[in-house]
Structure 1
C-alpha cells in the first residue's frame, strides 16, 4: 500500500509501543508508627471508607438479637410450628371445600396438583396417627418430616444447652436429589393413569 506521496507505508511493527509496567497499589499499613487511620483505602491517599449508619429498623433487630437469651430463637421457632399445627387441627383440611381459603391457585385454575398440594392434609393425618392416609396425600412430606424435626431438635438443644447431638450432613448433592425427586413426584402425581392416580389429591 502507498500513501499520497507515493512512498510505501512502513509496517506498524517498525514502531514498537512503549508499555508502562503496571504499578501495584500500595498496601495500607495497619500497624506501626506509619499506620494509616481506620478506613483508609489502599492506593488512594486521603480516601477513607465510612460505613453506612444503620437505620432504625436494623438497629432495633440488632439490639433484639444481641440482648435476647439463648432460648429465644428455638422457642420462637417452636411457637411458629405450634401455630401451624394448631391451625391444621382447628380447620380440619380433610373436610374443606376446593375453594376454601387459603387455597392453591394452581389447583384452582388448572386442576393440577402443585408440589405442596396435600401437605396440610398429610400433616392432619399424621397428627391423628394415620401414616397411610398421610402418605396417600403427600408421601414426600411424610418422608422428609422426621429429618426436619431432627434438624430442629439438634439445633435447639445445641443452642439452648450447648449439647451437641450427631449432625445430619446435608450436602448440595443431597439437596439436589431431594429437589429432583420432588419434581418427579409432582409430575407423576398429575398423570391420569393408574397407579399414578393414587397420588392425585
Structure 2
C-alpha cells in the first residue's frame, strides 16, 4: 500500500470513529447516563480540567442547544471550527506556533475556569 492510500485509510478510519462517537453522544446524554466515564482529573482534585463539560457540550450542540453547550464548555464550542479547519488543511498542524498556542490556551483556560469570581465562574461547567 502506498503512502497516499495509507493516508486515506487512516483518514477514513478517523472520520468513522468520530461519527460513531457523535452518534453515541446524540443518543446518550452524558448528564443522565453512566455510559461515559466521569472526568478522572475532576474526581481526583475537585477542579475542572479544560475538557470538563466537553461531552455534555457536544451532546447539546448535536441537539441544537447552543446556549446550553456554551454553558458546559465554551472553549470546546469555540474551538470546533478551528479544529475543522485544521483537519481540512493539515499543514496548519505543523506550524511551530500551533502546539504552543494550544498548550498555553488550555493551561490558562484550565486555571481561569477554577477561579470562583464572577465572570470567571461562567467558564466552569454549569
**Would you call these one fold, judging by a TM-score over 0.5?**
yes
Equivalenced residue count is 123
Residue 60 of structure 2 corresponds to residue 136 of structure 1: no
Q: What is the CA deviation profile of residues 57-91 of structure 1, one whole-angstrom value per residue up to 9, with x for unaligned ones?
A: xxxxxxxxx17983433221111101210221222
RMSD of aligned residue pairs (Cα, Å): 2.5
CA drift at 1:139 = 1.5
- Which structure would you say has the larger RCO, counting Cα contacts within 8 Å and 6 or more residues apart? 2
Gaps of at least 5 residues in structure 2 are none
Gaps of at least 5 residues in structure 1 are 1-65, 156-166
Partner secondary structure for residue 117 of structure 1? coil
**Which TM-score applies when normalising by structure 2?**
0.79
Residue 87 of structure 2 corresponds to residue 174 of structure 1: no
The aligned counterpart of 1:189 is 113
CA drift at 1:146 = 1.2
Q: What is the CA deviation profile of residues 101-148 of structure 1, one whole-angstrom value per residue up to 9, with x for unaligned ones?
A: 511122123221112111111111111222222222111111221122
**Which TM-score applies when normalising by structure 1?**
0.53
The structure whose residues are more often helix, as a share, is: 2
CA drift at 1:199 = 1.6
